[in-house]
């Protein structure tokens, strides 16, 4: 399965629990396509409920729900735990994610 940077994916939470869709968490892919194709791992930030206005969390809309990308909870997992690709961030959301990542890791 090809996974692109800034795609929204459903990832299995626990490698020991199998790949049932009910055991998944929605995440945004942070790692670039070059890394995703070369490595067995992928770097993600989980989506969480839209509660609180934290500077490290970016609000997005998925379907009819507002959620936040928890950029303070970035993790790396094996690609085999990706259950499916759900969609992609829009350009405005990508710009905001890049800005927050720059603030966290560079500035």
Helices (H) then strands (E): counts for the chain? 2, 7
At the top level of CATH, the class of 7-105 is: mainly beta
Residues linked to residue 14 through DSSP beta bridges, in sequence order:
none
Phi, psi of 94 (to 5 degrees): -60, -45
pLDDT at 18: 52
How long, in residues, is the chain? 107
As averages over each run of 10 residues, the pLDDT of the chain (107 residues) reads 92 64 85 94 95 92 92 96 95 97 92
pLDDT at 19: 47
pLDDT at 16: 59
């Amino acid at each position: 399965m090809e996974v692109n940077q800034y795609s929204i994916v459903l990832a299995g939470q626990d490698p020991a629990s199998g790949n049932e869709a009910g055991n998944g968490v929605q995440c945004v892919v942070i790692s670039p396509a070059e890394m995703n194709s070369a490595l067995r791992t992928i770097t993600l930030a989980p989506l969480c409920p839209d509660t609180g206005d934290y500077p490290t969390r970016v609000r997005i809309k998925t379907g009819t729900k507002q959620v936040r990308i928890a950029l303070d909870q970035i993790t790396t997992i094996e690609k085999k735990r990706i259950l499916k690709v759900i969609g992609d961030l829009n350009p405005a959301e990508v710009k905001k994610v890049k800005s927050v990542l720059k603030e966290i890791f560079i500035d």
